[in-house]
């Protein structure tokens, strides 16, 4: 379920590195490049050379630039079976180079032997790559490079990606389409979005090399590891969350409660993403609501959709006013925090026959930052907020109307005089 918050703005990202667990896992990140070697890779439409030649050139450049702390592997699909037996063709995927410390010479030699051959079993290749990367808590990333859509239905590669995401193993799939048509593009977008990955359309060798290098380097960057938590059925029973990234499961059409302590002068920024890791009905929504323990709503964020989706997200911001006498704890003299209750609600429903357990995967991001300084606020005396803003707008409209009416009468009078 890693990456569900990728679609959120940077302003909602947590400032703490991790919640409760300290530093990210120290294991070396793992990446597997999955290369399409099917017959269509013979097409000569990338900078005057074949798609296979462009891929080999890009791989050589990428392998030279792999960070030392990345454990890299290479898997192929459609590289070995040239025949017409569908059953055999859809099993044609193998690991060309094992995931581990990189021997650049050996890896380049293995890639150099590849010749465009057979089918396009993307689904089986993704399952094989997930197995290749199994084990440990390191960052895991699959980079799929292909020029066509899967030819081994009914094993839908998009559904395979959803199943991988549903396992909660924090594996991201990025996809690159070589000169893709509309159907290929749609399928690769779906695969990437199912795991919080990215999709890139490629038409030049330099683009392919640059993008694959970026994705491999990204795997080496420190990432947030979500912390598992379990929301309560009411605010009083909810866990208290510190700044960080959290995962949970929420059943269809239900609520989950969490609590955050906000000090005077701080701004709470919270965001939630819910993943549809299985088939769901049309018309759905997600609500993130902040309230007081007594139930008074403070602010809310909501999002809705109609049709198929993989992730739906929303967020909110709540700036707590700076300290005054009422915000001081009488016993210690220290600033008193305010308990903010966060409720995550969803309106997903599932077609008949679809399992509703376990619940949908949820990721919740919590950040506490310094609130806005009213002394530096360009809004004079708070005129840009609430009823003040409404009053100013009404008054400005009235004055503008009177001025326009006076000017119109003056112009008519001048015209008649002349």
> For 225-272, what is each residue's pLDDT tens digit?
678 899 999 999 999 999 988 989 999 999 999 999 999 988 999 999
pLDDT at 227: 84
Residue by residue, what is the 3-state secondary structure of the chain?
Answer: CCCHHHHCCHHHCCCCCCCCCCCCCCCCCEEEEEEECCHHHHCCCECCECHHHHHHHHHHHHHHHCCCCCEEEEEEECCCCCCCCHHHHCCCEEEEEEEECCCHHHHHHHHHCCCCCCCCCHHHHHHHHHHHCCCCCCCEEEEEEECCCCCCCCCCHHHHHHHHHHCCCCEEEEEEEECCCHHHHHHHHHHHHHCCCCEEEECCHHHHHHHHHHHHHHHHCCCCCCEECCCECCHHHCCECCCEEEEEEECCCCEEEEEEEECCCEEEEEEEEEECCCCCCCCEEEEEEEECCCCCEEEEEEEEECCCCCEEEEEEEEECCCCCHHHECCCCCCECCEEEEEEEEECCCCCCCCCCCCCEEEEEEEEEEECCCHHHCCCHHHCCCHHHHHHHHHHHHHHHHHHHHHHHHHHHHHHHHC
pLDDT at 257: 97
pLDDT at 166: 77
What domains does the chain contain, in order, with CATH numbers? Answer: 25-220 (3.40.50.410), 227-373 (2.60.120.380)
pTM of the predicted protein model:
0.55
pLDDT at 145: 96
State which residues of the chain have pLDDT below 50: 1-25, 325-327, 374-385
pLDDT at 11: 39
């Amino acid at each position: 379920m890693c990456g569900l918050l990728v679609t959120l703005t940077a302003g909602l990202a947590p400032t703490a590195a991790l919640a409760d667990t300290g530093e990210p896992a120290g294991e070396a990140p793992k990446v597997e490049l999955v290369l399409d070697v099917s017959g269509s890779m013979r097409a000569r439409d990338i900078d005057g050379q074949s798609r296979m030649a462009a891929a080999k050139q890009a791989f050589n450049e990428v392998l030279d630039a792999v960070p030392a702390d990345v454990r890299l592997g290479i898997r192929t699909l459609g590289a070995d079976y040239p025949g017409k037996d569908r059953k055999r063709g859809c099993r044609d995927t193998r690991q060309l180079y094992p995931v581990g410390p990189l021997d650049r010479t050996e890896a380049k030699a293995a890639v150099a032997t590849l010749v465009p051959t057979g089918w396009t079993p993307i689904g089986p290749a993704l399952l094989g790559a997930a197995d290749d990367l199994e084990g440990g808590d390191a960052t895991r990333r699959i980079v799929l490079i292909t020029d066509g859509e899967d030819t081994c239905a009914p094993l839908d590669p998009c559904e395979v990606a959803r199943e991988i995401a549903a396992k909660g193993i924090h594996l991201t799939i990025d996809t690159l389409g070589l000169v893709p048509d509309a159907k290929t593009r749609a399928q690769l977008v779906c695969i990437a979005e199912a795991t919080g990955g990215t999709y890139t359309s490629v038409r030049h060798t330099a683009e392919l090399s640059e993008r694959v290098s970026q994705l491999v380097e990204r795997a080496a960057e420190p990432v947030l590891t979500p912390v598992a938590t379990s929301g309560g059925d009411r605010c009083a029973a909810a866990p208290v969350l510190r700044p960080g990234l959290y995962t949970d499961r929420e059943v269809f059409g239900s609520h989950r409660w969490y609590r955050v302590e906000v000090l005077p002068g701080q701004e709470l920024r919270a965001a939630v993403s819910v993943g549809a890791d299985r088939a769901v009905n049309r018309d759905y929504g997600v609500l993130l609501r902040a309230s007081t323990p007594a139930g008074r709503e403070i602010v809310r964020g909501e999002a809705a959709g109609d049709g198929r989706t993989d992730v739906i997200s929303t967020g909110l911001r709540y700036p707590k006013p700076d300290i005054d006498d009422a915000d001081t704890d009488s016993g210690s003299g220290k600033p008193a925090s305010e308990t903010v209750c966060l409720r995550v609600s969803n309106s997903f429903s599932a077609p008949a026959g679809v399992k509703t357990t376990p619940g949908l995967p949820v990721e919740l991001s919590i950040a506490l930052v310094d609130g806005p300084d009213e002394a530096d606020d360009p809004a004079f005396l708070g005129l840009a907020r609430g009823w003040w803003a409404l009053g100013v707008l009404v008054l400005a409209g009235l004055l503008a109307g009177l001025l326009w009416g006076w000017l119109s009468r003056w112009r008519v009078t001048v015209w008649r005089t002349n």
